[in-house]
Structure formats: C-alpha cells, structure tokens
A and B are shown apart, each in its own frame.
Chain A
Amino acid sequence: MTRHNPDQQLLHDYKRRAKREQRLVFAWQIVLLVSFLSLWELASRMNWVDPLIFRSPADIYHMLTEKLTNGTMLTHMQVTLLETIASFLIGTILGIVMASILWFSERLTRIMDPYLVVMNAMPKVALGPIIIVAIGPGYVSIITMGAVISAVVTTLIVHTAFREVNQNYINVLKSFKASRGQIFKEAVLPAAIPAMISTLKINVRLSWIGVVVGEFLVSREGLGYLIVYGVHVFDFSLVIASLILIALSAALMYKFVEQIEKMLLKHSSNSF
C-alpha cells in the first residue's frame, strides 16, 4: 500500500509535524486569552484597578448577552456595518476612478500633484466637522467621511500601480497600434489588480476609522455613538462591549477581503 512508499511516509511525517505545530500555536493563543481575562477579572475583584472604569469580563459578558438578545445592540451594529461597507465601496471605487482619470492625462497628474500631496499628508478626520456642517448631520456625512479617507489613499496607491506597469506590456500593445483606452483595458488595469486588492485591505481599516470618528461627532445610532454615550453616562461596560464588537467585525471584514484577494490573485501575481 501507499504506506510502504517511502515518499508517502515522509509526507505523512511532515504533515503530522505541521499539524502538531498548529495545535501548539492554537493552545498558546487560548492560554493567552484565558489568562488575560482571568487576570482582568481578578484585578477588578481585588480592586487593583478601578472597577468602575475597567469593569470585569463577567460584567461585560452579561451586558453583551443581554443587549444582543433583546436586539438593541444588533440595530447599532447593523447601522455601523452598513455605513462602513458603503463608505468602503464608495471610497474604493472613487479612488480607482480618480486614479484612472489621472492615468489618462499626464498633464492633469502634474497639475494635481501638489494638491494630492497635501490631501494625502493631511489627517482627513480633521475634515469631519466641516463635512458634517456641509452635508448635515446623519449617516450620509458619516459615509462621506469614511469614503474621503479611503478615496485619497486609494487614488495615490492605484495611480502609482498604474504607472509602474511594465512598459514592455504596453509596448507590445502599442506595436498593434492600440489606443490609450485599449492599453488601459488590456494591460494597465489587469496588471494593477494586485495593487488594488492591497488597497482594499487598507481601505477596510480606513473606512472603520472614518465611520467611528463620524459617529463620535454626530449620530443617534451605531457602535461609535454607543461608545460616546457610554462615556457620557459612565457606563464603561457598554463602551468596552462596543469596542469588542467593532474589533471583531473589523477583523471579520478584513478576513473576508483577504479571501477575495486569494481568489483573484491566482493568475496575476507572478511575473511582475
């Protein structure tokens, strides 16, 4: 049987070693989490830290289960998630469109260069109050904020990727007398897909920042609002519970984008 094949045997051993390593890593991760939580609980109970501010894991757990079962937390979470996804999509698409426009006109690129540098260097969350005043309080201005933050970075990264496409690909198309539009469609856009996907990952983070800060500034709903509200009424278990939900959903979204990346990069990653 295959077991007697020495190669198979070696492969089997290799797999077993890899699996053991994986299990060990996982065990350590659990140990770290459990010890952190129990230390926190202990510190809170023994009054090593102020229990009014830092609460205890048990408190937060009760709070989370209660709020999630009666549905109040879910509506807030839904609002924030929708806002984030919307600003992520709008920001990414807007950035790619702007990068494409810049690619089509080199002169426009040179004209826009200083403005892009300033826009990139400036912390976009500082625009928050102005956006809210201009658009009016509500989820539209929150989405706009998330979108603006990710659009500028996307424009810069994708435009750089467009410009760094291997000139020889373009030359091959030029020898067939391709128009600039055809060059863009056949060579530049597909070659820049890896860069676009890496901006997706960046944009997940940036749109979360935009949306949470937007909710801090103005809103009646959402996890960011809950954090501000919790601080105001001194309910810190609410603050920490919202924080945990934000962290978990952001991580999930990030993982989701990573899966898309793996799917799309099968044939375009090598030979660049």
Chain B
Amino acid sequence: MKEKWMQYPAAGRSPQWRPVFLLAGYSVFFSPNSCLWALTHFLLQHRMNKTMRYAEGLESSENVLYFLNELLERRLGLSQGPKEVDQMALLTLNQVTHHYFTKNDYTKTLDNITFSIDEGEFITLLGPSECGKSTILSIIARIIGHTDGAIYVNGSPLPEADPDIGYMPQQDYLFPWKTILDNVLIGPKIRHDQSEETKEQAIQLLDHVGLSKMTDVFPDSLSNGMRQRAAFIRALIINPKILLLDEPFAALDYQTKLKLEDLVQDLLRYYQKTSILVTHDIGEAIAMSDRIIVMDANPGSIVKTFEVPLELRDETPFLVQRHPKYQLLFDKIWRQLDKDKSIPSQSKVVSPYDKT
C-alpha cells in the first residue's frame, strides 16, 4: 500500500518535479518571504498573460476604450454570469462549450459560444478548418450534446424546446439504395407522414430545382450538383424552423457552386427560412448572409461579428462580387481571419534570372 502523500501527482509520481518541491519546501520553512514573492510573481504573470491575449484583438482607439470598459466591468463583477436570454430571438446560444473526452485527456472544441439568430435571418459561421463551426451545427441539430452552457429556442431551453431542424451536410449523403424521391421523403417518413400531399410537394420542389426527371433514379446516376440540390430539398421538405447548411457548396466546382448558391438563396428568401451556413469561403459568406460570425480555432470561439451591408444582401452571388462594398467587407474579413493581418499583394519572389 502506498502512502497517502505518494498519490499526489507532483510529489509522488513524477520525479522530475521533485527538486522543485524540495526547493519550495525549503523556502517555506527557511524563508517565507521568498515564497510569498514567488506566489505574487506567478499570479501577476497569469493576469498579464490573460490581459495581453485580450489586447491582441484591438485595432483602433475606439476599441481600446471598449476594452478598458469591459476590463472595469469585469473587475466590478458586472459582466459575470450568463447574459439575459433574448426572448425575441428564435435561437440563442448562451456560453455553449463543447469538449471531446478521451481516457486521459480532453480537447476543448468550443469555448463560450454566444450568439442569437432572429426569425428569417441568415447567418454564416466563417472560420478556418477545425474551428468547431460544424460542431455548433451538430449541437443545434442535437446530433451531439454540448458539455456546458445553454441553448434556447423562442426563450425556452433545449432539450424541452424541440424545433424542427433541416440539416444539409457537406457531402449530400443521399442513401444510395433509395431513389431520389424516396431520399427526399426520408424526413417525412421518419415523422410517419407519408401522405400524398407531402409527396406532391416533394415532386414540386424537385421540379423547381430542375430534378423533375430524376425522381425515380438512384443517386449514383446524378452529378454532384444535382445530388446537392436533392439534399437541399430533403432538408427543406419537412418545413424546418431552422435550416443548417454545413459547407454544402464546398465539394462543387466553381460555376456549379455559384448557380446552386443562387438557387438556395432564392428558395430560402421565398420561404423566409432562418438559416445558419457554415463555410470557410469569405465570398460565399458575404453573398449569402445577413450577418457573418468569424470564428477562430483552438478552442473554437467567436472572434468578431460583421453585418453585411443591406445593398449586398439583395444581389445574387454572382453579381455581388462586382459591388464596391463587397471588396471592402471582403478585405476586412480577410484581415480578421489572416494571422498576419495582411492582404497578399505583390509577389515577393525574385526570379534568379533577374539578378543581373
């Protein structure tokens, strides 16, 4: 049987820490002053690190004031605790956190995600890969659970509030053993709705996206763009409260992508759907959404939110690229996402043949 003190991690188990402990023990017994000094130093260092990290996000003097204000609020304990839940919003995420646990370790994939989305709004989660943006969608769709924080739908918390969710994954994931029509009708089937009405509606929607001739064929005879359109209708047919689009255009070639973006935007406007798009494509984000939430990785967290100017919201994904405000917003978001805060401009490569 080991003695009790042996079970403490640093003292018993790891011999490399032993000298530190001896030194610490020595200072406690023989010079309490130096011990106190070390403690103060450690605390200061910790505080400084946190502050410095926060200050990195600053851009202008305006933000400095904001930052100081927030710091003051924190000191006074004003901004502690969860924020008020926005009763008007359709969906609110309040300090949602997600961890992956393994036997000996954990990974924090989402840290303190707080945002809300109003009815009929289209927002985009934009960020580098592995920043947990898809995880947020999975949490909202209740495919996986969050580990901390709360989600509210119309003011009442999940899981009691059980909204209808339409989910469109990156690859279509149409079932290869079902025809296109059966694939589209899988959502209603799960809800035990196999009425002729729904079927007709499905056929109508498929017709609208140009798949009227494809209802009875299997997915393997469709092109990627067609499959993605079918997957979109599959998500839309159940008339969901919130539509989640998880990089639905990422696997398509550029022209198919623009066309599909246009089609999806049209349909979403028509049905006034509340949607959340996940993407790493800045142009796509500007073209599709009303609001862009920029995220960062390790752990996944929200860095900044951009409103898309009203003039850009009505343009098609193709035409919006010619708008002057598009470029402005694009550059802003680029700088936010880029680690060096710079726009790649002139090539710095010097050809060895030019030397002479």
Q: What's the Cα separation between A172 and B237 when bound, in Å?
A: 14
- Interface of A, secondary structure class, is helix
Q: Is B259 in contact with chain A by the CB < 8 A criterion? A: no
A186 touches B138 (CB 8 A): no
A-B contact count (CB 8 A): 61
With A and B bound together, what is the CA distance between A168 and B238 in angstroms? 19
| Contact of A267 with B187 in the complex, beta carbons under 8 Å | no
Are the CB atoms of A267 and B220 closer together than 8 Å?
yes
Q: Are A176 and B143 in contact (CB under 8 A)?
A: no
10 A-B pairs (CB sep. < 8 Å): A174-B141, A175-B143, A176-B165, A177-B142, A177-B162, A182-B190, A186-B190, A191-B177, A267-B218, A270-B220
CB-contacts of A230-272 with B (<8 A): 267-268, 270-271
A172→B235 CA distance, assembly (Å): 9
Q: Known contacts A168-B171, A186-B186, A190-B175; decide if A176 and B138 are in contact (CB<8 Å).
A: no
CB contact between A172 and one of B142, B167, B177, B219 (< 8 Å): that residue: B167
User: A168-B169, A177-B162, A178-B190 are known contacts. Are A267 and B176 too (CB-CB below 8 A)?
Assistant: yes
> For A171, A191, A193, A268, which residue has the most chain B Cβ atoms within 10 angstroms?
A171
Assess whether A271 is in contact with B238, with CB atoms less than 8 Å apart.
no
Contacts of A168 in B (CB 8 A): 169, 171, 173
In the bound complex, residues from chain B placing their C-beta under 8 Å from that of A174 are 141-143
CA distance A21 to B190 in the complex (A): 52
Q: A172-B169, A175-B143, A175-B167 are in contact. List 9 more A-B contacts (CB 8 A).
A: A171-B143, A171-B169, A171-B173, A172-B234, A173-B186, A173-B190, A175-B141, A177-B191, A193-B177
A218 within 8 A of partner (CB): no
* In the complex, per-residue mask of B190-219: 1 if CB is within 8 Å of any chain A CB, else 0: 110000000000000000000000000011
CB-CB under 8 A from A169, the residues of chain B are 173, 175
A267 to chain B, nearest CB (A): 5
Residue in contact with A176 in the complex, picked from B176, B219, B238, CB distance below 8 Å: B238
- Give chain A residues whose Cβ lies under 8 Å from the Cβ of B220: 267, 270-271
The residue of chain B having its C-beta at the shortest distance from the C-beta of A174 within the complex is B143
Most central of A166, A176, A191, A267 by chain B CB within 10 Å: A176
**A93 at the A/B interface (Cβ < 8 Å)?**
no
User: Is A209 in the interface zone, CB < 8 Å from B?
Assistant: no
Chain A positions near chain B (C-beta within 8 angstroms): 166, 168-169, 171-178, 182, 186-187, 190-191, 193, 267-268, 270-271
Please indicate the chain A residues that have their CB under 8 angstroms from the CB of B244 in the complex.
Answer: 175
B161 CB to nearest A CB, Å: 13
Contact, CB under 8 Å: A271 / B176? yes
CB distance from A110 to the nearest CB of B (A): 14
- Interchain CA distance A270-B244 in the complex, whole Å: 27
- Chain A residues, Cβ within 8 Å of B177: 190-191, 193, 267-268
Residues of A within 8 A of B187 (CB): 176
- Cβ-based interface call for B300 (8 A): no
* B-chain residues with CB within 8 Å of residue A172 when the two chains form the complex: 167, 169, 173, 186, 234
Give the distance in Å from the alpha carbon of A271 to the alpha carbon of B178 in the complex. 13
Q: CA of A182 to CA of B186 in the docked complex: distance in angstroms?
A: 11
Chain B nearest CB: distance from A188 CB in Å?
A: 11
**Residue B127 at the chain A interface, CB threshold 8 Å:** no
CA distance A173 to B141 in the complex (A): 11
Residues on A with beta carbons closer than 8 Å to the beta carbon of B175: 169, 186-187, 190
Q: How far is the CA of A272 from the CA of B189 in the complex (A)?
A: 23
Determine if B166 is an interface residue (Cβ-Cβ < 8 Å). yes
Which residues of chain A have C-beta atoms less than 8 A from B173's C-beta?
166, 168-169, 171-172
Across the interface, do B191 and A268 meet the contact criterion of CB distance under 8 Å? no
B166 — which chain A residues lie within 8 A by C-beta? 175
Write out the residue numbers on chain A whose beta carbons fall within 8 Å of the beta carbon of B176.
267-268, 270-271
- Chain B's closest residue to A170 (CB) is B143
A176 neighbours in B (Cβ, 8 Å):
165, 186-187, 190-191, 238
Q: How far is the CA of A182 from the CA of B189 in the complex (A)?
A: 10
Closest to A269 in B: B176
Within the complex, the shortest CB–CB distance from B216 to chain A, in Å, comes to 12
Instruction: Give the CA-CA distance A134 to B303 in the complex, in Å.
Output: 71
Distance A177 CA – B218 CA, assembled complex (angstroms): 24
The minimal Cβ–Cβ distance linking B276 to chain A, given in whole angstroms, is 13
Q: How far is the CB of B6 from chain A (nearest CB, A)?
A: 32
Interface string of B127-164 (1 = CB under 8 A from A): 00000000000100111000000000000000000100
Q: Lowest 6 A-B CB distances belong to which pairs?
A: A175-B167, A176-B190, A175-B141, A176-B187, A178-B190, A168-B173
Alpha-carbon distance A19/B16, docked complex (angstroms): 75
A185–chain B nearest beta-carbon distance, Å: 10
